[in-house]
Amino acid sequence: MQSSAARKMTAEGWLEPPPVPHHYESEENHKHALRLGMWLFLGTEVLLFAGIFVGYFVFRTYFPEAFEQAGRHLSLFWGTANTLVLLTSSLTVATAHYYAEHGKNRNAFWLLTASITMGGMFLCIKGIEYHDKFVELALPGKFFHFNEITAPGGPIFYVVYFFATGLHALHVIVGMSLLTWVAVRCWRKEFSPQYYAPVENAGLYWHLVDLVWIFLYPLLYLV
């Protein structure tokens, strides 16, 4: 791919798009391929989280009481707050995609910055929750010493809890890095109606992170 430094600024106020690789017959064809690649990757992500969700349901079947008790000990306030933070960041990412597609790079930049900030907020809130769990010794496996969960299976719940939310938090960090990369490129006005695939694909990744949380939130905090 051609570096942005070598690309000229067009009259519309954005850099001219990088040339379409020669093995694509058209610009649209290239866009389809980039999008399909991302969706295939998202499919594998769904399968990755599928294992965790199946684990959740298996252990829930084995230890229903512990899961209920432990779920009640998670902070509903922080859980709900985090859901709203992630949903809002999804909105700003989707809107940034819209602006990038219309060549309004500055708008997209600020919206992406807002999304990254909300990702950071999400991680901070997650940190507060993790801190509480560490103080209570509500921890996975042999580290579990939390007396308020009396039903068998408490340590197992926290294995599922920390693994699911931990893997999700890792995805939030990766998503934030991708959004930062894309935001920098927005600042350089690289995107235009002809070329906005990085914004779209980073956005798709971010929405997937949101999707996973949409399921984790009710399963861990509410039921």
Partner 1 sequence: MASTSSAGAPAHSHGFGPGKLFLNWLVLVCLTFSTFGVSQIPMPVNYHLAAALCIAVVKLSLVVLFFMHLWWGEGINRIVFVTSFLFLFLLMFFVMADVGTRFTLSNSRIPPPPKIDQTLMPTGMPPGMGTVPQGHSEGSGASSGEAGKR
Give the footprint of partner 1 on residues 115-144 (CB under 8 A). Answer: 142, 144
Q: How far is the CB of 49 from partner 1 (least distance, A)?
A: 8
Best CA proximity match to 212, nearest among 52, 40, 49, 82: 49
Contact stretch for partner 1 (CB under 8 A) within 117-125, 149-157, 159-167, 171-179: 149-157
DSSP 75-106: -HHHHHHHHHHHHHHHHHHHHHHHHHHTT-HH
Handedness of CA 18, 21, 25, 31 (dihedral sign): negative
Taking CB under 8 A as the rule, does residue 215 contact partner 1? yes
Per the structure block, which two tokens stand in for 156? Answer: 């197992």
Task: State the nearest-atom distance from the C-beta of 104 to partner 1, in Å.
Answer: 11
Distance, in Å, from the CA atom of 212 to the CA atom of 41, rounded to the nearest integer, reads 15
CB-count exposure of residue 185 (10 Å: 0-12, 13-18, 19+): buried
Q: Pick the binder of partner 1 from 7, 14, 74, 83 (CB under 8 A).
A: 83
Per CB under 8 A, contacts with partner 1 among 43-62 are 43-44, 46-47, 50-51, 53-54, 57-58, 61-62
Please choose, out of 119-127, 145-153, 162-170, 171-179, the segment that lies near partner 1 by the rule CB under 8 A.
145-153
- Spell out the residues 6+ positions from residue 128 whose beta carbon is closer than 8 angstroms to its own: 78
* Stretch near partner 1 under the rule CB under 8 A, chosen from 113-121, 168-176, 177-185, 215-223: 215-223
In angstroms, what CA-CA distances link 96 with 11, 150, 200, 201?
22, 48, 9, 12
For partner 1, the binding residue among 4, 9, 19, 84 (CB under 8 A) is 84
Candidates 24, 78, 98, 110; binder of partner 1 (CB under 8 A) is 98
Q: Which is nearer to partner 1, 103 or 119 (CB)?
A: 103
- Among the residue ranges 82-90, 115-123, 126-134, 159-167, the one whose residues contact partner 1 (CB under 8 A): 82-90
105 binds partner 1 (CB under 8 A): no
Report how far residue 148's alpha carbon sits from residue 46's, in angstroms, rounded to the nearest whole number. 34
Binding residue for partner 1 (CB under 8 A) from 93, 112, 199, 202?
A: 93
